[in-house]
Structure formats: C-alpha cells, structure tokens
Chain A
Amino acid sequence: MTRHWRILLLASVVLVGVGCTRKPGPAAPKPTGFGAALVESSGGKQTGATGMVLAQPLVVQVNDDQGNAVTGALVEFGGPAGVSFDPPSGLTDSSGQLSTNVALGSMAGRYQLTAHTFTKARKLVELKVEEIALGYQQQVGYQLDNKYCARCHNPESTPERVSNYDNLEVKPHPFTEGDTLNKMSDADLTAIISHGGPALNKSALMPPYGYTLSKTEIEALIAYIRLISDPPYHASGMVYAQK
C-alpha cells in the first residue's frame, strides 16, 4: 500500500516539475567586444503615431575610448511601459552598429528611450534618446503641417520639397522653436493661424487659414505644435520615461 502511495507521490512530483519548467527565453547573446562609449547613429528625435513602428530604425554605435567602432558589443534597449523593440538587444555588427525597430506606447507624448552597453570593467554606459508619439489629433496636425505649413516654417530642404524659409524677408518660427512658441497662448496661436500675421501685429507674409482650415483642424495643428516643441511645452503632453 505505502509503496503505491510513494510511487504516486513521486510521479506527481515529477509531473509538477515538468509542468512548471519554463522554457528559458532567448538568452542575451554573449558579447565578444566591449566599448567605452555609446552614440546614436540615427533614428532619434523621430515622430511617429502612437503604438506604431517608427519609420526609421534606431541605430546606435559602440565605440572604444579611441573612438573606433567596436564589433560584438552587447547593447540592450529599454523604455517606458508599452514601448517595444525589435530586437530588444543584440551584438553590434562589423561597423560597430546595432539597429532596432521601435514601436512607441499607446499614449501621445514624448518617450525617453535608453540604450546601454557595458565596458570591459562591467561599467554601465547609457545613451538616452527621445522619440515623440503622435495621437490621433497630433497626427492630423502633422499631416496639415506637411501640406500647408512646412514649406515656409521648416527650414530644412529636401529634393522633394524645397524650403521657402530662406527666401522670406521675415523669418517664420519653426514649429519646434519652443522658446518663442511656448510663450504664446492657444488663443494667440489660433488667432494667428485663422487671421494671419497682422492679427498679432506680425508680418502679412503669414496668410490667414481660417477660411481654409476648420476649427478642429486648427486645434489639431496646435496640439501638434505643442507636442513637438523644444524645449517641451509644459501645459500639455506627457513625458514617458522608464520607472
């Protein structure tokens, strides 16, 4: 009788043991190189829609103390809840770089992401990168900016869209220019967009858009301008960082 019990007990222990063994996740690869510095190659300061993969991957580079690229260094990415990286960690390639696709969280705002690697002495080297997630309203604002505003307000020229910024006698404020735009109230911005520069005693080169854009569209534009402002506009927009 007792032998049966013992066998049963043993069997159940084995079964529970097997059931509870969790397959280990893909372990972080073993680094073959160590650097002294971590720098951003590209992919920082992007804007993308909430929850979606950013258009450009985030690329970071590990350098040694001479500034030479380090191959095979382990880089791990981190961010606030809701942010995902594909891949979340990896070894740098032959040019010392590691690239990851970033999907931001589900709320509009600024997201502080981190990348870190270790030196040979196990010292942590961290790099902070900021990305901006546009919610529905800011997304609409971004599209409107692209269509109506960016030709003059964005000084950067691309072959597809030549900037008119340098040609204007009175320079418009780029929408990221927080130092100026953060001092203006929403009512001021609405007035200048709807009625043009002269509404606030500014240049007539800024035409009125109140007869072209709807009230909702102007609100969306302002929500976008507030979110991308640098330094950040504090009256709105959350900063999401890792706790």
Chain B
Amino acid sequence: MKNKLSSLWQTLFGHPVRAFGVCSLLMLIMLAIAPAKNYFSEWRHYQNKYLALIRGRGEAVTLQRHFHEGIQQIWLPQLGVVDRCTTCHVGLKEASLEDVSTQPFRRHPVIPHTLDQYGCVMCHRGQGPATTVEEAHRSTLAWEQPILPARYVESSCGQCHRAPLTGTPQLNLGRNLLGRYGCVHCHTIKLPDGSAIQPTDDPPSLEHIADKTTREWIYAWLKDPQAYAVTATMPNFKLSDPDARDISAFLIWSSAPLAGDTVPVPRGQKTPDPTEGASLYGESFCASCHAVQNAAGNVVGGDIGPELTRVGTKVKPEWLRAWLHNPRVYDSGTAMPHYRFTDPQLSLLTAFLGNKTDSDLLANVHLDAATPEQIAHGKLLVTEYGCASCHEINGIKKPDNFAPELTRIGSKPLTQIIFLPGMTHALPDYIAAKIRQPRSFGSALKMPQFSLAPAQVDALTTALLALTDRAHDLPLALTVPAKPTSSYQPAGRAGQLMSDMACFTCHAINGRGGDLAPDLTWEGSSVQRQWLEAFLKNPGTLRPALIRRMPRFNLSDDDARELTDYIMTVYQTPAFDRDSMPSSGYPPAQVEQGRQLFYSKYACQGCHIVDTKADKGYVGPTLTQVGSRLTAAWIYHWLKDPQAMRPGVIEPNRNMSDEDARALTAFLMTQKGSSKGGAKK
C-alpha cells in the first residue's frame, strides 16, 4: 500500500517538469469547476426543458421572444423582495400556456396583482434569492421559510388587506372565528395600526349564575359543553370529575343574588299548551338568532344567540320568565331585544322553552353538598385555567395576557418551536396542530379543546399566518386598512329605546351594527312617517321569501312615536331633500308610461310584485304599497343608483335616464296598497 502510493507520487511529481505539468492540469480542472457547475445547474436544465416544450407549439416564436436565458430576478427594494423564481418558472405570464399542467412551466392563475408589482414570495413565501429547487421551496439549515401550502395562501393577502375581500373567504372566516370563538380573550393580537382584535362572542357573566341555573348543569356543561349544545363555542377543558365538581361548587358559592332577575312563576294557572308557545316563538322570530336541533340532527336557526335545544334542562323557570320579561336586568349589554311580552305571553314562552329538556344530560350527575375545601380548590382551578379571561366571576380578577401574544405568530422562527414527533417541521402544520389538539403538545397545557370543523381549523390557521413581521413592517401606504369600527350611539330617549330593543344586533347605522337587516343610516329619507310608525308597532312582511324578519316588540304608542320622530329627523341623507318630489298627483300619462317601463323595458316584475295576481317576483321587497311606504325622492334616487343609496345592495344599477326614473317613480307612487298590513291610509 505504502509502496504503491510512493510510486504514484514519483510518477506524478518525480521530475520538476512533470510536476509543473500536473499542477497546471489540476489548476485547469479547478478553474473549470465553476463554469461546469453553472452549465449543469438545475435552473439551466429547466430552461432547456422549457425551450423543448415551446418548440413544437403554434405560438413558439412569441414564447421564444418572451424567454430570457440565465438567472432572472425581480427586485422590489421597497417591499424587500428579491425573487429569482422566474428563472425556472418561465411561463408564469404566458396566457397561451393554459393547457400546460407540468411544473415549473404552468402559467400563473389570474389574480389582481402582477408579478412585477409584488414578486412571488410576498404570497407564496419560500426563499426568493435561492436558485435550486430544494433551497427555494423547503426549509433547509440556512433558510427557514418553506413554500406556503396552497390551502393557506389567502393568509398572504391578509398581510396588506385588513378588510374582508371577496376573493378570500377562508381568511375572512378565520378572522371572524378569532373573535367568535373568543381566541382573543386570552391571546392578545395587536394589529399594525395599534388596535387589537376584539372578541365578538360575548361570554356571559357568572356573577349571578346561581339565579340562572343549577350546579348540576354547570358540572355537565364543564365536562362537555357540546353535549348540551352542539353549536356551543365554549371549549372543553377536559376536566376530571373532582375538578368539575369543585369548579361548579365555587361558581355557585361565589354567585351573588341579583334583584329582579327571577320572578316566581304564577301558581294555580293551568299549564299552557306547548303548541301555542311554538307559534309565539315563530311569530317573534326567535329562530332568527337562536337555533334548535331537530329530530334529524340538523341545527336550524340563527347563530347570534345560544342554541336552545335543551334550554329547559339548563335554566330555572323563574329566571327564564324574568329574562324573557326584560333581559337587560340580568345582562345590560345583551344582544337580545326587550320584547315587552304580556304576562300570558310570558307564561306561554316559559312553558314552551322549559319543555325543551334532555333527561340524559343530568341523569348521571349526583353532587353532594360542597365542602369548603372543594370551594377553595375550585377557586384555585378557576384562576389557573383563566376562566376570568372570558367570564366575569366574583372575587377573581380578569388576568392580563393570560396566554402568549399572537401578534407576530405568522413569522415565528422555527427554532423557537417544539414540534411533535412525526410532524412536518413547518409553521402552518404547527399552528394547525395547536388549534386542532392543543393538549397533544403536553397534557399539562392549559389551552382547552375547541370543537372546530377541519375547514374552520384551516381558516383560523390562515388568519394567524397572516400576522407576519412583514404585515407589521410594511409602509402604511401599501396597506389596505379595515373599515374603522364605529361606536356610534344614538342620543336621548330614542337612543335608550334602540339599546333596549337591541336594534344594532340586526341593523347597522353609521357604521355600527349587524348585517342581518337593512342599513338604516338614511332611513329618514327613505320612508314615510306614517308607515314607519305603524311598522314599528306591528311590522308587516316586506320580503316574503325571507325567513328572518323584523319581530314585533309590542311598543307603546308613545315609544313608537318617539322612535319615529328620531329616525325621521336624524337619519337623513345629505344627497337630496326627501320632500323634493310629491307623493301623489302625477299625470296619468306619466304613470302609464311608468307601468310600461316597469313591465317591459326594465322587467321589474322579475324580482318585485306590484300586482299580487300576476307578478311573482320574490327577490326584492313587495311593492304593492310602496307608494305609502317610501318617499318619491328616495325611489327616484334609488332607481338612478341603488348602490349609492345603500352600498352593496343587489339591485343592479340600470343607468336609467332621468325621464324613465321619473315615470317609474310616478307609477310606483300610485301603489298605495290596502289598509291591512303595515300601511295606514
């Protein structure tokens, strides 16, 4: 062995001339390494494959002209983007490559931005400057950021766009869920503008819980909230039996009675027939906000209020009666309106709802009287689990920053993450696993188990991935801000009435409120006084196809007048004067012309009904009495540009001439309807 080596050395370097030659040759080979590496590089291989792909195509000349050899780069200093992805992804901008499905030659699907404006990694992440497949797409030792899987790509839109976008339903849903499932009670999420995401779930105060329900129900609820209501957003804390026993003991012990939140159910009355209660429940449109699970297991109804499938097992009848009488006594900020039910109505509804029971729920719950030790232990658990982050509890302060802040979770370095065995080492997988099964990362962790569908987990992950360093550090001019939140509160007696009836739960005014019912910001310019007053007292049907409608709040004459006055005076558009057009007296010829336009040129009967016998349009509101409901000026301006009057309405803008709009207004103003329903002659 040794001999062989020395003879090789002799052969190569034995003679100075030979040694010089060998050295030169070695030098030459070393010099050739760089060009050879370049020549055999991955990207050149892809570029050659691309050239072979386009050679046979009809538009080869054009494609050839668009092609540039060598490493390509998109450099956007303002955004901090250096992307060389287009070196291999050569056909991204070629619309004619629609039929090519092999990567990296697919064209990019149509999106609202161009490559030259934003580059690639803004949306797809990965390593922009890398020039090999491995380094660009996967995380390696030196490069942390892998490509973002397609299922989370909407998160990238959310880095700049704070407001909901039509094209990003998953991101919109995820952001909504962060509030709706109360994630932000425990986890602070600050937005680039300094504000924080606010919860929207309104968890009930537990300060007077003993008035409302029993310790047995609290125990069953704590053990499995979804066993009581499948739609419950309360998470499962996976409590042991003794822990649930002690927490329920503490909550009942700490509860303070509240005057007026229970009323004794009148004795001696015969129990009302539950079916009568059902029709009152229907007439009051309780189902617009509350859902009930039917026999087939489907949850039917709205999701603004809690599900009522088993409510009779939960609440005490004397509390329920007081709540239905005036919910604001127990919870001044509740989204539930004050219905002003009469005593017989209260009996009917209390009996109807109290009848919705499930004997299985509490069948196996037997609790002995609580001992002081149990109560003390319960208090300790309530503090440890951070119950007061969501609920108000007597004697427990709301903890600050109970859980880690998630403001920049989308850029969390992988080195700070402890992955589970067998898990892909990528941020989206970590976040999704944390949401899906928080306790899989350690049985001692406090984060509870939420019951979320797979699509909801993905949506939440998407919303969290949008919270990147880039989202916070972008120049303000490049971000698209969310609509500012409004804390508008109407003044005076009318304002009190509107809070009492929880108008903002369904209607929006001046940027505050729900979207279940029409925006009322300019209602005073829109409707006629008499109609409004009558409607508030007894809301008639405007849109027969809708299942969610305005309930009857049993307003007194004085209250209805007060509210009407306020709406008519305050909610007026600056765009026109509501009295600028007469409500009647249009020339018959113009009315007839309007009728012709209604039925032929504009075919309004497709969506609206004027003649109940002939017309069948059930999309828009029925117009049989529109002449006594709306002002002429509103109809005219609405016809000219519906979206200007109420942004986002689906009635198309017809680009109507002034003459046509006037004629149609004249025709519609003759539709005064009969005296029944909401309109008063």
Contacts and interface: CB of A to CB of B under 8 A. Distances in A.
Contacts of A238: 99, 101
A143 B109 contact: no
B618 A167 contact: yes
Contact of A137 (B110, B152, B653): B110
Nearest to B606: A205
Interface in A111-143: 135-137, 139-140, 143
Interface of A: 49-55, 82, 86, 101, 103, 105-108, 135-137, 139-140, 143-144, 147-148, 151-152, 159-162, 164, 167-168, 203-205, 207-212, 216, 219, 223, 236, 238, 240
11 contacts: A51-B149, A51-B153, A52-B455, A52-B458, A106-B150, A139-B169, A140-B167, A144-B166, A151-B650, A160-B547, A164-B545
Given A164-B607, A204-B602, A51 B150 contact: yes
A33 B603 CA distance: 60
A204 B619 contact: no
B169 A207 contact: no
Taking each of B112, B152, B166, which has the highest tally of chain A beta carbons within 10 Å of its own beta carbon? B166
Given A207-B602, A211-B653, A212-B652, A143 B111 contact: no
B625 to A, nearest CB: 20
Given A49-B169, A147-B650, A207-B652, 16 more contacts: A51-B149, A52-B151, A52-B458, A54-B455, A136-B111, A139-B169, A143-B169, A148-B650, A152-B606, A162-B545, A164-B545, A204-B601, A211-B654, A212-B652, A223-B110, A238-B99
B655 interface: yes
A164 B454 contact: no
B364 to A, nearest CB: 25
Q: Which 10 A-B pairs have the closest CB atoms?
A: A51-B150, A106-B150, A167-B616, A211-B653, A51-B151, A162-B545, A204-B603, A205-B606, A135-B109, A137-B110
Contacts of B618: 162, 164, 167
Interface of B: 98-99, 101, 106, 109-112, 149-153, 166-167, 169-170, 300, 454-455, 458, 545, 547, 600-603, 606-607, 616-619, 643, 650, 652-655
A53 B169 contact: no
B619 A53 contact: no
A55 B169 CA distance: 12
Contacts of A105: 150
A96 B547 CA distance: 37
Contacts of B617: 164, 167
Given A53-B455, A140-B167, A160-B547, A208 B151 contact: no
Nearest to A51: B150
A200 to B, nearest CB: 15
B184 to A, nearest CB: 24
B455 A205 contact: no
B166 A152 contact: no
B101 A240 contact: yes
Main SS class of interface, B = loop
A162 B152 CA distance: 33
Contact of B101 (A54, A107, A203): A107
A137 B95 CA distance: 14
B451 to A, nearest CB: 15
Contacts of B607: 151, 164
A211 B458 CA distance: 36
A216 B606 contact: no
A143 B653 CA distance: 19
B506 to A, nearest CB: 16
Contacts of B652: 148, 207-209, 211-212
A159 B548 CA distance: 10
Nearest to B641: A211
Nearest to B455: A53
Contacts of B654: 207-208, 211
Contacts of B149: 51
Contacts of A212: 643, 652-653
A86 B99 contact: no
Contacts of B603: 203-205, 207
Contacts of A240: 101
B167 A139 contact: yes
Contacts of B655: 208, 210-211
A13 B301 CA distance: 67
Nearest to B604: A207
A101 B454 contact: yes
A108 B101 CA distance: 11
A51 B547 CA distance: 34
A144 B652 CA distance: 13
B151 A107 contact: no
Contacts of B600: 204
Nearest to B616: A167
B454 A151 contact: no
A236 B97 CA distance: 11
Contacts of A135: 109-110
A149 to B, nearest CB: 9
A119 to B, nearest CB: 31
A50 B167 CA distance: 12
Contacts of A203: 603
Nearest to A55: B455
A203 B111 CA distance: 33
Contacts of A53: 151, 454-455, 458
A51 B655 CA distance: 40
Contacts of A204: 600-603
Contacts of A210: 655
A9 to B, nearest CB: 18
Nearest to A239: B101
Contacts of A168: 606, 616
Nearest to B605: A205
A142 B575 CA distance: 34
A50 B150 contact: yes
A216 B101 CA distance: 24
A66 to B, nearest CB: 27
Contact of A107 (B106, B111, B166, B650): B106
A187 to B, nearest CB: 17
A12 to B, nearest CB: 21
A104 to B, nearest CB: 9
A207 B153 CA distance: 35
A136 B123 CA distance: 13
Contacts of A137: 109-111
Nearest to B109: A135
Contacts of A164: 545, 606-607, 617-619
A140 B653 CA distance: 20
A51 B455 CA distance: 11
B619 A151 contact: yes
B601 A159 contact: no
Contacts of A139: 167, 169
B19 to A, nearest CB: 36
A216 B607 CA distance: 26
A195 to B, nearest CB: 10
A159 B547 contact: yes
Contacts of B101: 107, 238, 240
B454 to A, nearest CB: 5
